[in-house]
Amino acid sequence: MMRKAVGSRASMHTKKFLAILVPITILTAGSPRSAAATIGPWTAAVAMLGAKPGLVQLAPATRVGDKAPEGWTHLVIKSIPALESGDLDTLPDFATRTATMFHTTMLADVQPLALDKQYVLRRVGLGICIPSRDGKKEDIVVSADRVQAMSLRLSTVEKMVLEAAEAELAESRIIAYTSTFALLRSPALLLVQGKHRKVDLYYAFCVDSATGQLKVGAWTMWPGDVSQPPPPFVVRVAPRTIYNCAVDVQAKKILFGTVPYSWTFAMRMLPPGETLTTKGEKTLGEQIVTIARHPNQVETADFEKRMRKILFDSKPADAATAAGRASSRTARRSLSAR
């Protein structure tokens, strides 16, 4: 009887299943290659120097293994949700399977300009994936409107969760940029002091224009106009990060707290990497707070310069973080300190 009650309410709450498992966004855009193909190399180079890096949806059926697929230069993150804490025993079987079925991928495309070999960040790619079903150790990008065309069999609940995940992803934006820099903001749920709290995740993409080397930093902020100090740490995300994203489950219950009827899923950590302190970078800290609320009030080139310094030159705040073991503490400290 209890399982029937849970199942009858499942469709009302599937939108919550992946709301935090994929704290990055898909924003459909046209191919960044099309414009350059129709104009001269000098005009294309000048245009790319001032162009906003594209935020694009990964094409359905794209295969993502342990490196960037064809057409991309960097595999930044592949996140594989793993339910590790909280009200795990309250989840019905279908919810457990669905909550861990969908992975997320973040790619980057760094290319040299045709004339002077100066590297630029052309685009950031984001997508929802499922494990390959042909035995290969790859994920395949899926899209709710292409499920039939891809000959995939998803249950009604799985389709609803996929659609809800895509809707959540649509909230992410590149809020500041240059030709070698992009600041991506995405909503998420994070476990903070035992509670699931809405936060904004920030990813800073910095490209060395001379070498094409890419560094990515991540941190959290309270959303909206909440007054807050700068985050004390930035995580320098390890290259080609493929990791199990630890997830905490919290159930809401009725009938005197005996029957669970909905669930939320919160990240326990940021992506693994090296923890870099921002305490000695007062101006950068002030800019992080300002740019979160009012991107136009911060000179992007100066913000990029300061972010580049910490991502390329700083040593980890703690030797243990080099192995990525402190990323969960970083996420919690970054917010509980506010």
* pLDDT above 70 as % of the chain: 79
Q: Looking at residue 47, what is its pLDDT?
A: 52
Q: In terms of pLDDT, which residue wins out, 43 or 174? A: 174
Q: Looking at residue 335, what is its pLDDT?
A: 55
- For the cut 50, the answer to whether the pLDDT of residue 5 exceeds it is no
Query: How do residues 205-249 score in pLDDT, each as one tens digit?
Result: 999 999 999 999 999 999 988 889 999 999 999 999 999 999 999
Query: How do residues 257-290 score in pLDDT, each as one tens digit?
Result: 778 888 888 999 899 999 999 888 899 999 999 9
Tokens standing for 53?
């890096």
Q: Looking at residue 176, what is its pLDDT?
A: 96
Q: Could you give the C-alpha distances from 247 to 66, 164, 201, 250, 285, in angstroms and in order?
A: 22, 18, 16, 10, 28
Burial code (b: 16+ CB inside 10 Å, e: under 16) for 56-72 equals bbbebebebeeebbeeb
Mean pLDDT of 66-80: 95
Q: Return the half-sphere exposure (C-beta side, CA atoms, 13 A cut-off) of residue 10.
A: 22
Q: Is there a contact between 163 and 299 (Cβ–Cβ < 8 Å)?
A: no
- For the cut 60, the answer to whether the pLDDT of residue 17 exceeds it is no
Q: Looking at residue 318, what is its pLDDT?
A: 58
Query: pLDDT-derived band of residue 324, with 50, 70 and 90 as boundaries?
Result: very low
Query: pLDDT-derived band of residue 43, with 50, 70 and 90 as boundaries?
Result: very low
Mean pLDDT of all residues in the chain?
81
Q: Return the half-sphere exposure (C-beta side, CA atoms, 13 A cut-off) of residue 275.
A: 24
Backbone angles phi, psi at 49, to 5 degrees: -65, -30
Query: How do residues 164-185 score in pLDDT, each as one tens digit?
Result: 888 888 888 999 999 999 999 9
State whether the Cα torsion 233-234-240-243 is positive or negative.
Answer: positive
